[in-house]
Structure 1
Amino acid sequence: MNPISLICILAGVSLNACAQLLLKAGVNAVGHFEFTRANILPIGWKLATQLPIIGGLTCYVFSVVVWIVGLSRVDVSIAYPMLSLGYVVNAFAAWYLFGEVLSMQRLIGIGIILIGVLVLARS
């Protein structure tokens, strides 16, 4: 994989991870909710007007564009597993930004993911 291809793939992964974090921030701002017939429109409107959610959806759009460019350069059997790097980024970002727990079991899983991505990238 050449440097430009790697940049496209990593940019797609980063944008996707950023989208998840922004969506979580937007949902946190709204708080816990249940969709019922009575509140589907008010909750839907609250969600649709949260700037972090709008930003997250925008990141998704850009991530798809960048991902398509990356897929035009890299085999899908190499590119698709790289998406798992988003789990690693999001785990640490969620710990830092939202106070989510990084247990030993999660850290071991992250290590396994990183080893797998390294093996794939070198193939």
Structure 2
Amino acid sequence: MKYLAFILFTVLTNAAAQLMLKQGMLSLGPLTFSSDTAIARFFQILFNPWVFAGLATFAISMVSHLYVLSKVELSFAYPFLSLAYVAVAIFAYFIFREDLNAWRIAGIGFICVGTVLIAQSGRSTPAETATIETPAAKSIHIGSPT
């Protein structure tokens, strides 16, 4: 739980990137490609301010995620990324007026419950385990075995 703030930062930057990419693509309109305009269209998409900001935010999210992965188990950190779906669904409802029906709300609920259950496991990496000396001078290893 020590790195929860970094995990949530990763989730929020990931969700923000998705929202920026969506805004960028809305501003460009439906994509059509032809062989003579494909390269120009690619650069038009890439240098759209919203798309560019979304890609930059993804890069920030990835750096944050790499930091988190250096500190906690993948099986603990990765499921938190599902919260990005929750954030995107909620913000997309308010920003883009996307549908948020009962099935999606139920799915969001399940995602949240699952994430809470995973957060309760709160397992640390072997580097964060400790050794405690008992009065009988015996060492007890606390944490996951290495």
Structure 1 and Structure 2 fold alike (TM over 0.5): yes
More deviation in 35-44 or 104-113? 35-44
1:38 corresponding residue in structure 2 = 36
Letter aligned with residue 15 of structure 1: T
What CA distance in whole angstroms lies between the structure 2 residues aligned with 1:100 and 1:72? 36
- Residue of structure 2 aligned with 1:62, choices 60, 63, 69: 60
- Residue of structure 1 aligned with 2:96, choices 68, 76, 98: 98
- TM-score (norm: length of structure 2): 0.80
2:16 corresponding residue in structure 1 = 18
Deviation at 1:45, TM superposition (A): 2.3
More deviation in 86-95 or 39-48? 39-48
What CA distance in whole angstroms lies between the structure 1 residues aligned with 2:31 and 2:61? 28
**Between Structure 1 and Structure 2, whose CA radius of gyration is higher?**
2
Letter aligned with residue 113 of structure 1: I
State, as a whole percentage, how many aligned pairs show the same letter: 36
The number of residues matched between the two structures is 121
Letter aligned with residue 7 of structure 1: A
Runs of 4+ in structure 1 over 6 Å off: none
Unaligned runs of 5+ in 1: none
Q: CA RMSD in A?
A: 0.9
Deviation at 1:52, TM superposition (A): 0.6
Deviation at 1:74, TM superposition (A): 1.2
- TM-score (norm: length of structure 1): 0.94
Please state which structure has a larger fraction of its residues in strand.
2
- What CA deviation, in whole Å up to 9, does each residue of 1:59-94 have, x standing for no partner? 011111111111111110010000000000000011
What CA distance in whole angstroms lies between the structure 1 residues aligned with 2:33 and 2:6? 37
Please state which structure has a larger fraction of its residues in helix.
1
Letter aligned with residue 38 of structure 1: D
Unaligned runs of 5+ in 2: 122-146
